Amino acid sequence: MSEIVYETSNQVAVIRINRPEASNAVNSQVMAELPEALERAANDASVRAVLITGTGDRSFVAGGDLKEFHDTLHSAEDVYKKWSVMRQILYRIATFNKPVVAGLNGAVRGGGAELAMACHFRVASSKASIGFVQVKLGISPGWGGAALLARTVGMQRARWLLLSGQVLEAAEAEGLGLVDRVVSSLTFMPDALQFAGELAANPPDAVQGILEMMRTAEKLDLAASMELESRLCASLWNSEPHQAAIDRFLKKRK
C-alpha cells in the first residue's frame, strides 16, 4: 500500500500521508514518495494549490517513525544524512511555486509540526493540537522546522515553543499565529479544500509572482524589498487577468 495518496479536487492537489496505524509518522517510504507527489503537483498546470494532510482524524503527522529510525540510525552521521533528506523536502515545500496548505486534521507533533511550518498556510480541525515536543525527547528539531517556525511567529515565541515543548490546542495555536484558520472537526476536509480553493481561484501568474517576491524579500533590506514589489506589479499590469479585471471595474462605473 502506498504511504502517500495523491488526489485532485478541482484545482487543488491533495497529498495525504497514509499511515494511520502509525499516526501518520514519517518513515523512509514517506520520504521517498512525498517528493514524487510534490513534483506531480508542480508539473500539473491544472493544479493551482496543494493541500497536505493525514489519513483519519487522529493525527496529521506524529513526527518521525521512531521505531524505524531507532533500528536503522546508529551514528550522528546516519541521522544527519536521513534528516537532510527530510530537510530538503521541507525546503521544497517552503519554496514551492504554488500555495501549499497544511490540513491539520489531528495531533501534530515534533517533525509533524516542522512539516506544517514548511507549508505556506495551516488550516486546523477544532480537535487538532500542535507541539514541538522534540525537547521532551532530549533532541532538537532536525528537519529545519525551527528556522521556519521563527520566520512565522517571531524569534521569542519560537524560542518558547521549542524550549517548553508545550502542546497547544487549535484555538491557542491560532492566537499565536501558528494556525491561519480553525474549522469544525465535523466539516474539516470540505473547509480545508475551500481554503485551498480560494487560493487556487486567483490568477496563477500573480500568485506565483507574489510567492517568489516574498521569498526574495526575506533576503533583502526594506528599500530593495519595496522596489521588488513595484517591479512585480509592473510586470503583471498588462496581463490578461488584470486587464479583464480593469474592464469589469470600468463597466460597473458606467
What CATH number corresponds to the domain at position 88?
A: 3.90.226.10
Q: What is the pLDDT of residues 29-50, one digit of tens each?
A: 999 999 999 999 999 999 999 9
Q: What is the pLDDT of residues 96-126, one digit of tens each?
A: 999 999 999 999 999 999 999 999 999 999 9
Q: Give the residue, 116 or 230, on which the prediction is more confident.
A: 116
Instruction: Verify that 112 and 215 share a domain, yes or no.
Output: no
How many domains are contained in the chain?
2
Q: Rounded CA gap, 72 and 68, in Å? A: 6
Instruction: Verify that 146 and 185 share a domain, yes or no.
Output: yes
Q: What is the pLDDT of residues 122-155, one digit of tens each?
A: 999 999 999 999 999 999 999 999 999 999 999 9
Instruction: Verify that 171 and 216 share a domain, yes or no.
Output: no
Instruction: Verify that 184 and 223 share a domain, yes or no.
Output: no
Range of the domain at 219: 204-253
Fill in the amino acid letter for 15.
I
Strand partners, 169: 129
Instruction: Verify that 119 and 169 share a domain, yes or no.
Output: yes
Instruction: Verify that 54 and 179 share a domain, yes or no.
Output: yes
pLDDT value for 95 = 95
Average pLDDT, the chain: 94
Kindly indicate the confidence band of residue 233, based on its pLDDT and cuts at 50, 70 and 90. confident
pLDDT value for 254 = 66
Q: What is the pLDDT of residues 201-221, one digit of tens each?
A: 999 999 999 999 999 988 888
Instruction: Verify that 49 and 28 share a domain, yes or no.
Output: yes
Q: Could you tell me what percent of the chain has a pLDDT over 70?
A: 99
Instruction: Verify that 64 and 139 share a domain, yes or no.
Output: yes
